[in-house]
Structure 1
Amino acid sequence: MTTTLMTYIGPVDDHALVTRTGGVPLVPAGFTWPRCAACSGPMQFIAQLLVNAPGAQGAEAAAAAECVLSVFMCQNDPGLCDEWDPGAGGNRALLFPRAGLTPAPVPTEGETLLSETCGIDCTAIDAVPYHEARSNWSQTYGRPLRDVLGQLGGAPAWLQHDETPACPSCAQPMSFMAQLEEGRDHRTAMNFGGGGCGYVFACVPCKEGSFLWQC
């Protein structure tokens, strides 16, 4: 058994079609920047993930391999907009086909972009659970734990209880896609309550995404 860690590989272009945190989201035609249900302000774009659907087969697997998950979270009034909750409207995870994406127009108001764009490499480590794999990677490569930016696929390492969301379209449990750490530098990190983790889910057949965080 292995865990696929997402590890920091340095800065990348803000518009790169790669797995990254920060930068500008690549989006399909007709995209509207998501706004917070509580404060009505534009959300902050935090991560772009190139993903495959767990267990997908045949044509579904081919389509899933071409998916991009983009994660947004309100940071206009941190802590006041329930941005940790998957259903309160303070965050969004949007699932797009990979083909034909272009950089989104960024709103001129609000907290919309992170101050650092971090490129991510995916490294398979022979260890489960996630926290053990993270520690093993740090020791093997002689790099700080904070250079591990999360995991892609596998099983969520919950900091509290299991909060796997149900798909809003089909009501089935959504597939776990990624876990995000706050970041390698506290000055540019994402805000998951201070030392928290974000959890990204999707229902590929319904083209739905979901996000939450715990600390």
Structure 2
Amino acid sequence: MSQPAPLEFVSADGPVREPVTKIGGQPVWLEEPQWPLSRETGEPMRFLGQFALDGGRLAFLFMSGGGDDYIDGTWEPKGGENALVIQPGGRIPGFVTMRAQAEGPTAGTDHLPHTREPEGKDGAWQFLGGPGVEPNWLLGEEQPGTPRGWRLVVQLTDGAPFFFNFGDGGIGYAFVSPDGKEGRFLWQCS
């Protein structure tokens, strides 16, 4: 298992319109826009960020609620209250409803990743995944789907530059399927 470099996200000079890893802002779509909708409210989910994958693809992360708006079930990988959309060539799982929409609610302004020095050995930092990188589970391993072999894309904390509602001291985990075409997201809290 490789040790990932901890990240912090710093404010970009303006809107980021390149297909790079970022949190906040608006998605930089690689195919036709497809915005996920909350299963509970039918409203567009909030865009949290996009993450570069192998082969020039992106994983777009969305979650229902935000700020004081609490939506139950955002922690569940198949609950219909979060989505990790893969482009190009991805597939949308049946538990996610989509709408053709290019822009929508966002977590905040564009922020870009920068590596930083680790702060202790608790493993609760933010980092990008990749081959051989394993998540630091708060409550024990929770594979997002079957078959096994889902690869970690990113681990995020609720201490990002803006509020991610991952519960009390929570960590979010985004994964891509073994074939690289489908995403899952879940979070755990202490």
Q: TM-score interval w.r.t. the shorter chain?
A: 0.7 to 0.9
Identity of aligned residues (%): 26
2:106 is aligned to 113
**CA spacing shift, 1:13–1:65, aligned 2, 3 Å:** farther
1:74 and 1:21 map into 2 onto residues whose CA distance is 16
- Do residues 158 (structure 1) and 126 (structure 2) align? no
1:10 and 1:33 map into 2 onto residues whose CA distance is 24
Deviation at 1:29, TM superposition (A): 3.4
TM-score by length of 1: 0.69
1:202 is aligned to 176
Residue 178 of structure 1 aligns to which amino acid in structure 2? V
Residue 31 of structure 1 aligns to which amino acid in structure 2? P
CA contact (8 A) 2:29 2:87 kept: yes
1:91 and 1:5 map into 2 onto residues whose CA distance is 24
2:93 is aligned to none
1:73-84 equivalence runs, <5 A: 73-75=63-65, 78-84=69-75
2:98 is aligned to none
Root-mean-square deviation (Å)? 2.7
Unaligned ranges ≥5, structure 2: 90-100
Moved more, 71-80 or 205-214: 71-80
Unaligned ranges ≥5, structure 1: 52-63, 99-103, 126-133, 138-145
Count of aligned pairs: 170
CA contact (8 A) 2:60 2:85 kept: yes
- Do residues 65 (structure 1) and 65 (structure 2) align? no
| Greater helix proportion | 1
CA contact (8 A) 2:73 2:79 kept: yes
